Amino acid sequence: MANAETPRAYGSSLGPALLGQRFSVRAGARVPASLLAAGTLGPFAASELVTTYVDPIVGIALHAIVLSALILAAGLTAEARPGAEAAHISRLLYALTLVPLIRIISLSMPLARFDAALWYLMAGLPVFLAGLVIMGGVGLRPGAVGLRLNRSPLQPAVMLLGFGLGFIEYQILRPEPLIAEPTLARFVLPALILLVATGFLEEFLFRGILQTVASGAFGGLAVLYVGVVFAILHIGYRSATDVAFVLTIALVYGWVVRRTGSIMGVSVSHGITNIVLFLVVPFIPFLSVRPDWLILP
């Protein structure tokens, strides 16, 4: 999916099902999973809303505060009480530092003088390096984050799904194309960048690292939790429809990764979605015209 505003380089309640789960943080204390979810999702959403609708500079400051708070909370949780449950929460908080870091990097880099397609690559590289550091810090091996092949029929099915998703998201957002004209020479490099810097990178971070780590704290509900986090980062498009759409697809992708143990299929699907969204549909007249039945805000 496209991320909240192209220059940023990156495109709720968890419900009553979480209320019964609890986790230890320190001796004699129990933290409801709903509190853990609200304590992280709330600040993420507030920071994105301020960034989008109030002032980007203030939003960056809020993201920096959230980043610092997550690092502090991860350390305090790990030291408060040794044990598996506290360790799961500490690892999750540490991994979640990727969320504010994505926004801080994408908004702070001086990208205006570069081609739009390069924004994704240049903003994505430091985030990818941060993801590798987080991955090592929480003790995850490549196979654990889905960096492996899988022969499930879900893999080609979800890849093909990307073509339809790109068309639907274009009808929602109708963004400007990333290239001036649809020639092969202009198409190839941006397509590869979108495939790697949005498709693979975002799935590596969200369905790979975050969903894996969140599973230790939320179990099967990690798919929902990470899906909401991912949708929050699309608030910048100023479209409630797109946020709902992204959340739905994030749940589908999360389910596929949980079933197959691989992020390869969803990475390709995600990349195809953005290629169709930014490089294909805008140049095909009969596809770029919004159908009468598709009424969106």
- Give the tens place of pLDDT for each residue, 282-292: 999 866 566 55
Tell me: pLDDT of 265 over 70.
yes
3-state SS class at 32: strand
Dig out the tokens for 88 from the structure: 């799961």
Mean pLDDT of the chain: 87
3-state SS class at 31: strand
Mean pLDDT within 74-84: 75
Mean pLDDT within 116-132: 92
pTM score, whole prediction: 0.87
Mean pLDDT within 213-228: 95
Instruction: State the CB neighbour count (10 A cutoff) for residue 204.
Output: 22
Tell me: pLDDT of 16 over 50.
no
Rg (the chain; Cα; Å): 19
Instruction: State the CB neighbour count (10 A cutoff) for residue 189.
Output: 14
pLDDT of residue 81: 60
